[in-house]
Amino acid sequence: MKMEPVTAHKGRFRRGKPPRLGRADRSPLGRWFWEIDLVLLALVTVLIGIGLIAVAAASPAAGVRYSDGAVVFPPLYYFYRQCLWLAIGIPVMFVVSMLPKEMARRLSLLGAAVFIVALAATPIIGHQVNGAKRWIGVGMAQIQPSEFLKPLYVVALAWLLSLKQHDRTLPVVPISLVGTAVIAGILMKQPDFGQTIMFLLMWTALLTLSGAPMKGLAALAGLGVAAVVSAYLFYSVARLRIDNFLFQSGDTYQVDSARRTLMHGGLFGTGPGAGTMKFKLPEPHTDYIFSVIGEEFGLIACLAIALIYVAIIVRVFVKLLDEEDSFILLAAAGLATQFGAQAIINMAVNLQLAPSKGMTLPFISYGGSSMVALSMGFGLLLAFTRRNPYLTRSPYVVTWNKPR
Amino acid sequence: MTGLVARPDRVRLAGQRQQSLALVHFRLMVVMLLFLGVVGVIALRLLYVSIFVGGGASTPAGDGLLPARGDIVDRNGVPLATTIQAWSIGLHPRQLVNDAMEVSEKLAQLMPEHSAAQYFAMLHSNKSFIYLRRRATPELVAQVNAIGEPALALAQEPERLYPQTTLAAHVLGWTDIDGRGVFGMEKVLNNRLLDPAKRGQPVALSIDTRVQAALEEELSAAKDKFTAAAGSALVMDVHTGEVIAMVSLPTFNPNDPGATGIDSLRNNVTQSVYELGSTFKAITLANAIDSGVVTSMAKKYDATAPLQIGRFKIHDEEPAGRWLDIPEMFTKSSNIVTARIADELGQSRETAMFKKLGFGAPPEIELTAKAKPLWPTYWGRTTVMTVGFGHGIAVTPLNLAISYAALVNGGTYHPATLIKRGPDNPVPTGHRVISEATSARIRQLLRLVVLPAADGTGKKADVPGFRLGGKTGTAEKAQGGGYNKKLNVSTFAGVFPMDDPKYMIMMTLDGPHATADTYGWTTAAWVVGPAIGRTISRIGPLLGVIPDVSHDVDESDLLPLLWHPGIAKPKLTGAAAAAHDKD
């Protein structure tokens, strides 16, 4: 019997190979596509798309704000820069998400060590911007080590806490406390209050997830309240911020203009490029980009963005319910928490539910370091949630004899 | 041995491991719910904000975006005055870091208005701040910034910009260094323009920039041609009192009022008083008709010889040498006949009419810089007579414009306004000056002066189809307590279209000099008449007056009263024609 020529199956087979990204595609890309959480990938793609539109909307306002007699920024300067950062960030996310879990863990631990050193060096060799030393490096290659440290720290902490699974006698909590305190101390020296809060929050979240006793957590919460109260009483900067937030005393220009911008568009927005209040906003492309979206695309768009963040968190957490490896569990949940908490804090600041902090909206705000760092963090999250979809699926949801 | 035995704590049973995993899963859900709760709060806050705090319009928003001072626009919304963020370059001499010599040389290179030595002195002065330049161009600011001297302060400050430069300069006025209006409408509207509740909305003036530009150009061309010292012109809506255009020459640039001499800053329309001459004859005649002194248009008055009253002698420029009826005396502009009519009217009726027309006070308009008319201090019989034809009383051009509007609009006086009429600035009821019938008669007579068929003094201003009516007026210029026989103040006051009066137009040239093509004459007929004609042909269509040769004022009862000596009148040319056409 004569064999049918391969060319007859044009379209279904590519020169004898199985179709790309199909189940039979054994190439690394094919396997990656099979194992990756496609829902998560789709959500983050949508978020990046929204982010580009939002930065394009905020870019003229930021350009006008930062232009002066000597330097004039073109209206879309920040948009093009953001495209550049994405051109770096997306490959980073892609490559990181392809790493085998073991290697991802080892590289994260190595990275965490490197960036703690970099962070410690920042007050010495860093650049001062707006009264704080947060950046190191030269020219285009300036980075903010704290941004990169965040996801790596989460993975390292997850690894540390998961060691308890193997040896209950290890003093993992005190060790993690010391590490976190060192990082917080360096950050407060910059000073960077927002990031310090973020790291403490991550630590608390991971302790909670790892199954720390409720008594200890309650004590921690009490300590937190006490810390805030004592900061209010003895730390003038904190008192100013809190007074500012609670009683609208002092200089409320930032929050006032953010509120005006957010409300100016109403439910449906003024339309792309039609916003006017955004020009009065400080940091329209980073901290207050949510307000710019509110003005130009309406509060419904803001609600939709909040829902996308929720969807990402819920997707990761629900998926982790049938995960048995405690390191993967803690690392993925921690990364998702870091991602979600940052988004929530940013939105809360924009809505005057929280005092102002320098926190970017993940994948939407403009920013080089934060974009690449977030891409790396999300790449790690994708790597840790990657697995064979049929392998440990609950038997109740499996439908046999039905093509995927 | 003991080394091989695991510590009991390290041993994990499968059950324990399962238990701790369950705990982690439980905590996972707790944290997730926490997230959902917080995002729920954010969503509720968003909804609360959108429902209760309201959309953009109702928020007290905007004040970050409000201009420091409200805009002024014309009646069609064309910006006349606006506030921009302009760069200023300043100097803090005490903060000098670099070599003063070097910095001052670079400054002198970039801003040559001061020498390097002057800049050097500034850098060493004891002052804490000096302005070097306001409203600097961004290029210059970039170059100054490139000097790299911390003592040089670059800042953006609100600056008042008049984008049309000199257009309507006297109407707008200007602001001082602190942004307060000090002259013109900037002063009048100062509080309104600074009011945070209102300054987001521009103020619409009654001015129409298109008409303003045409009027400015024509008046300025006439002023240049006849090398007059000054000029003023006005277009006004006769029914509402809205000033559509107001020109005073010489003018200035409100963007930099300090650069011009103080004389140019004066608004001649409201601040200068002139003896406006024969234009007053329309008022005297209206008064006489309305009060029954003149009962018939055919009534004739003796103009055979100059009128001798005591030491004074009133004579006509071109003696008619005969008795003249009313249309004849008006079109020929006879001083003798007007004096006789004024004599019959008497002082009390004359001054009562002037008061009703607002000559007792500065012209009624928002502007604060305005002059009060000058009245004769002694009213003798001759004063009553000369004032009747506009000599011995000096009013502002705006006073006359308001009175002409009242004479033709049916007899109702309305104050003038520079702010667009609308719900915020309604037309006041006004008061009656003369009867409807008298007003209709004055319209006929004014049209007759310009109507080519009647051969009156204003015929040079006629534009076919626009039905212009008006009166010329030439008076000797008052100077140093007496009169300058060589210099005139030449005025034309007219209204168009006369069959349905809409707009009052007037032009005054102060001290015009004759040119070859006026054969030595500087009377209104020669120097202002043609400019009025050209202006009307330009602004008429802009104001919605359609030229129509098939309509005109009904002059059928007046034209037969004009007696033309000799049926076949020889066509006059050159100087003879010029002599014939004097005021």
Q: Which of A64, A165, A172, A319 to mutate to test the interface with B (most CBs of B within 10 A)?
A: A165
Last residue of some domain: B204, B221, B240? B204
Chain B CB contacts of A211 below 8 Å: 20, 23-24, 27
Q: What are phi and psi of A126, to 5 degrees?
A: -80, 170
How far apart, in whole angstroms, are the C-alpha atoms of residue A99 and residue B201? Answer: 61
Task: Give residue-wise pLDDT tens across range B73-91.
Answer: 999 999 999 988 888 898 8
3-class secondary structure for B67-98? CCCCCEECCCCCEEEEEEEEEEEEECHHHCCC
Last residue of a domain, one of B187, B204, B221: B204
DSSP B32-57: HHHHHHHHHHHHHHHHHIIIII--TT
B184/B312 same-domain check: no
Identify whether residues B196 and B217 lie together within a single domain: no
Residue B566 phi, psi dihedral angles, 5° rounding: 80, 120
- CATH at residue B99: 3.90.1310.10
CA dihedral A272→A276→A281→A283, nearest 10 degrees, is 30
User: Of B451, B491, B501, which Cα lies nearest the Cα of B279?
Assistant: B491
CA distance B58 to B287: 56
Burial class (CB in 10 A: 0-12, 13-18, 19+), B90: middle
DSSP class per residue in A271-291: -TT---GGGG-SSTTTTTHHH
Backbone angles phi, psi at A279, to 5 degrees: -70, -15
pLDDT of residue A42: 94
Residue A226 to residues A192, A222, A279: CA-CA distances in angstroms? 20, 6, 39
A 350-379 near B (Cβ less than 8 A): 351, 353
Q: Who among B24, B41, B47 is closest to A326 (CB)? A: B24
Residues comprising chain A, all counted: 404
pLDDT value at residue A6: 46
Question: Which residues on adjacent β-strands are paired with residue B374?
Answer: B394
User: Is residue B38 situated within a structural domain?
Assistant: no
Non-local (6+) Cβ contacts of B517 within 8 A are: none
Query: Tens of pLDDT along chain A (404 residues)?
Result: 454 544 444 455 566 666 777 767 777 888 888 888 899 999 999 999 999 999 999 998 888 877 765 677 888 889 999 999 999 999 999 999 999 989 999 999 999 999 999 888 887 777 766 666 777 776 666 788 888 999 999 999 999 998 887 777 888 888 999 999 999 988 888 777 788 888 999 999 999 988 888 888 889 889 888 988 888 887 777 777 777 777 766 666 777 788 888 888 888 888 888 788 888 888 888 888 999 999 899 889 999 999 999 999 999 999 888 888 889 999 999 999 999 999 999 999 888 888 777 788 999 999 888 899 999 999 999 999 988 766 655 555 555 555 54
User: Nearest chain A Cα to B139, which residue?
Assistant: A69
**Coil, helix or strand for B508?**
strand
Q: What is the mean pLDDT of chain B?
A: 87
Q: What is the ipTM of this complex?
A: 0.86
Residue of A nearest to B47 (CA): A299
Buried residues in B144-157 as b, exposed as e (16+ CB within 10 A): bbeeebebbbbeee
Task: Quick: pLDDT tens for B301-360.
Answer: 999 989 888 888 888 888 888 899 999 999 989 999 999 999 999 999 999 999 999 999
The verdict on B176 and B216 lying in the same domain is: no
Q: Give pLDDT, residue A156.
A: 94
pLDDT in the model for residue B3: 47
Question: What is the chain A residue with the closest CA to B49?
Answer: A263
Q: Each residue of B457-482: pLDDT tens digit?
A: 888 899 999 999 999 998 888 877 77
Tell me how far the alpha carbon of residue A170 is from its chain's centroid: 30
A-chain residue closest to B142, CA distance: A70
Q: Is residue B65 part of a domain?
A: no
B-chain residues near A209 (CB < 8 A): 24, 27-28, 31
Instruction: Decide if B512 is inside a domain.
Output: yes
The predicted model scores a pTM of 0.61
| Integer Cα distance of B159 and A212 in angstroms | 64
Q: Quote the minimal CA–CA distance from B134 to chain A in Å.
A: 13
* pLDDT computed for residue B573 by the predictor: 54
Cα-only R_g, chain A: 23
Of the candidates A209, A263, A279, the beta carbon closest to that of B24 is on: A209
Nearest to B577 by CA among B518, B531, B534: B518
> Could you give the C-alpha distances from A313 to A212, A318, B24, B34, B426, in angstroms and in order?
21, 8, 16, 11, 63
Beta-carbon contacts of B133 under 8 Å, excluding residues fewer than 6 positions away, are B88, B89, B111, B140
Give the pLDDT score at B446: 94
Q: Are residues B340 and B247 in the same domain?
A: yes
Interface test with A, best of B10, B38, B48, B152 (most A CBs within 10 A): B38
CA pair distance B18, A9, nearest whole angstrom:
50
Q: Are B477 and B511 in contact (CB under 8 A)?
A: yes
Q: Which residues 176-235 of A have a C-beta within 8 angstroms of B?
A: 205, 208-211
Clarify whether B550 is annotated catalytic. no
Same structural domain for residues B286 and B368?
yes
- What pLDDT, on the 0 to 100 scale, is given for residue A138? 60
Interface test with B, best of A72, A303, A309, A315 (most B CBs within 10 A): A303
- How many beta-carbon pairs under 8 angstroms link A with B? 135
- Is A232 within 8 Å of A251 (Cβ atoms)? no
CATH of the domain at B524: 3.40.710.10
Residue A237: how many CA atoms within 13 Å on its side-chain side? Answer: 7
Residue B17 forms part of a structural domain: no
Residue of chain A whose alpha carbon sits nearest to that of B29: A317
Q: Min CA distance, A347 vs chain B (Å)? A: 7
Smallest Cβ–Cβ distance between B42 and the set A280, A306, A333 belongs to A306
pLDDT digits (tens, 9 = 90+) for B525-573: 888 999 999 999 999 999 999 998 888 888 888 888 888 754 444 455 5
The residue whose two tokens read 């409000």 is: B66
Q: How many CB atoms lie within 10 A of CB A89?
A: 23
**Contact (CB<8Å) A351/B46:** yes
Give the C-alpha separation, B537 to B560, whole Å: 29
- Within a domain: residue B59? no
Residues B377, B306 within the same domain: yes
Going by the DSSP 8-state scheme, the letter that residue B8 receives in this structure is G
Q: Are residues B185 and B300 in the same domain?
A: no
How far does Cα B282 stand from its chain's mean position? 25
Residues B121 and B219 in one domain: no
Taking the C-alpha atoms of residue B72 and residue A18, their distance in angstroms, rounded to an integer, is 73
Q: With contacts defined as CB-CB under 8 Å, which chain B residues touch A318?
A: 32
Task: Identify whether residues B500 and B568 lie together within a single domain.
Answer: yes
CA distance linking residue B244 with residue B237, whole number of Å: 7
Tell me what pLDDT residue B570 has: 47
Q: Helix, strand or coil for residue A327? A: helix
> DSSP labels for B308-375?
EETTEEE--SS---SEEEHHHHHHHT-HHHHHHHHHHH-HHHHHHHHHHTTTTSS-SSS-S--PPPBP
Q: Are both B126 and B246 inside the same structural domain?
A: no
Contact B64 A277 (CB under 8 A): yes
A251 — contact with chain B (CB < 8 Å)?
A: no
User: Which of B204, B220, B243 is the C-terminal boundary of a domain?
Assistant: B204
Contacts of B61 in chain A (CB under 8 A): 260, 263-264, 277
Run of H or E residues at B131: strand B130-136
Nearest C-alpha of chain A: how many angstroms from B444? 57
Q: What pLDDT shows up at residue B168?
A: 92
Q: Which of A166, A264, A280 sits opposite B56 (nearest CB)?
A: A264
On whether residue B41 sits in a domain, the answer given is: no
Catalytic residue (one of B104, B232, B248, B278): B278
Q: How far apart are the C-alpha atoms of A373 and A362, rounded to whole Å?
A: 10
Q: Dump pLDDT digits (tens) for B252-296.
A: 999 988 888 888 999 999 999 999 989 999 999 999 999 999 999
Are residue B172 and residue B217 in the same domain, yes or no? no
Beta strand pairing call for B307-309 and A127-129: unpaired
**Cα-based torsion angle of the residue sequence B541, B545, B547, B553 in order, rounded to the nearest 10 degrees:** -160
Q: List the beta strands (DSSP E) in B348-481.
A: 412-413, 431-432, 469-479
Residues in chain B closer than 8 A to A69 (CB atoms): 87, 138, 141-142, 144-145, 154
Q: Give chain B's contact residues with A (Cβ, < 8 Å).
A: 7, 9-10, 12, 17, 20-21, 23-25, 27-32, 35-36, 38-39, 41-43, 45-47, 49-50, 53-56, 59, 61-62, 64-65, 87, 138, 141-142, 144-146, 154
Would you say residue B264 lies in a domain?
A: no
Domain count, chain B: 2
CA atoms within 13 A on the CB side of B183: 21
**What was the pLDDT predicted at A337?**
93
Q: Tens digit of pLDDT for each residue in B28-83?
A: 899 999 999 999 999 998 888 777 765 444 333 444 567 788 899 999 999 999 98
Q: Which residues of B touch A340 (CB under 8 A)?
A: 35
- Chain B residues with beta carbon closer than 8 angstroms to that of A317: 28-29, 31-32
**Are B126 and B229 found together in one domain?**
no
pLDDT in the model for residue B56: 43
Q: What are phi and psi of A113, to 5 degrees?
A: -60, -45
In a domain, B20, yes or no: no
Strands (E), A218-372: none
Domain that holds residue B93: 72-204
Range B428-456 burial, b when 16+ CB lie within 10 A, else e = eeeeebbeeebbebbbbbbbbbbbeebbb
The three-class DSSP label of residue B420 is coil
